[in-house]
Amino acid sequence: MKFLNKETLSAFFAKIAEKEALYLPQKQENGKAAYKEWREGAEYARNLNTVRSAKDFFFPQTENLMDFKMEGKNITIEDTRKECEDFVLFGVRACDARSFDILDSVYLANPVDTYYQNRRSHGTVITVACTRPGESCFCHVFGIDATDPAGDVTAWETGEGFFFRANTEKGEALLAAAGDLLSEKDAAAVEEQRAAIKAVQAKMPLATLTAEGFGGGLTKELFDRPEWKTLSEACLGCGSCTFHCPTCQCYDIRDFDTGHGIKRFRCWDSCMYSDFTKMSAGQPRPTQLERFRQRFMHKLVYYPENNGGVFGCVGCGRCLIGCPISMNIVKVMKTLGGKSHE
């Protein structure tokens, strides 16, 4: 397996950055991690998962879709899209790597979202196996192996350095470009590390959580459960859970008058907002209970029903940390999972 000595990590980053932009988790002043473009001297925040996922690189929070120029009675539509430059994401965790598959199933299905496709095709993802899973992590519930993440390249960090495995043609090209910085090394240390991390995961607070009682075909059993009322009562409808979530893909489109034309933007939206899905005929989900139920039914029932059993949650734990009243998908699963409708 390809191996990079830890002393040459900065040289490896510099090699990548010679040809394309490189983004990796970096520690911020508040002690948390965020994806930032690598510059000489920047330090990789290896033990911290980012507050926001890497979703922004493919599905940004706000993007300009098109402009309308008006001259008298004439209207000209200007396509604002530009071919995205190649870029590399380093340090993506297994949960976020799975989230890309979920986003792909939405935005790369017919009709293809060409804005998303443009960014996705130009990005190369280097995932890194988790070495210190957090107490809020529960990716195992959805069949995700944190010790062997997907991606164009999978990396494992040991005491000596990084082991790399290319999974795609883009991944092979990236490792080939690293040249003599990489050497061949026996991967026994990787297997030892994977076993050690699995042992740690088995002792984590959410190790026994399961998705039993959820999945496709359970709408009738779960939709009218009385527990939804109690679960939703504390919800503020702030949308924090959706904005932290790596798999939420809902958006709104707004036009803004600049005084000499119109700019059309796509912005993230949240099913927890009171005006989400509001139409001229009214609001189909007028109460917070209905909006709360919709979010979690989508993650745990509707999405797997329409996508071969794949759940719409990846167990990253961000909603557990980000919710101001500590109401999250884990509490929903513990409350409703495995119980029959009465």
pLDDT at 283: 83
Indicate the SS3 state at residue 300: helix
pLDDT at 47: 75
**8 Å CB contact between 46 and 247:** no
Residues lower than pLDDT 50 in the chain: 339-342
pTM of the model: 0.93
Helical pair 94-107 and 114-122, crossing angle rounded to 10 deg: 140
Q: Mind listing the pLDDT tens digit for each residue in 240-262?
A: 999 999 999 999 999 999 888 89
Q: Residue 160 CB: number of other CB atoms within 10 A?
A: 13
Among 122, 186, 118, 120, residue whose Cα is nearest residue 158: 186
DSSP labels for 217-240? Answer: T-HHHHTT-THHHHHHTT-----H
Q: How far is CA 210 from CA 147, 277, 299, 313, 316, in A?
A: 19, 31, 14, 12, 15
Q: How far apart are CA 244 and CA 53, in angstroms?
A: 7
pLDDT at 303: 97
pLDDT at 71: 85
Q: How far is CA 38 from CA 91, 177, 178, in A?
A: 12, 18, 16
* Structure tokens given for 160: 């000596």
pLDDT at 132: 87
Among 342, 237, 324, 319, residue whose Cα is nearest residue 332: 319
* Structure tokens given for 275: 């005006």
Residue 279 DSSP class: B
Domain ranges in the chain?
2-201, 219-336
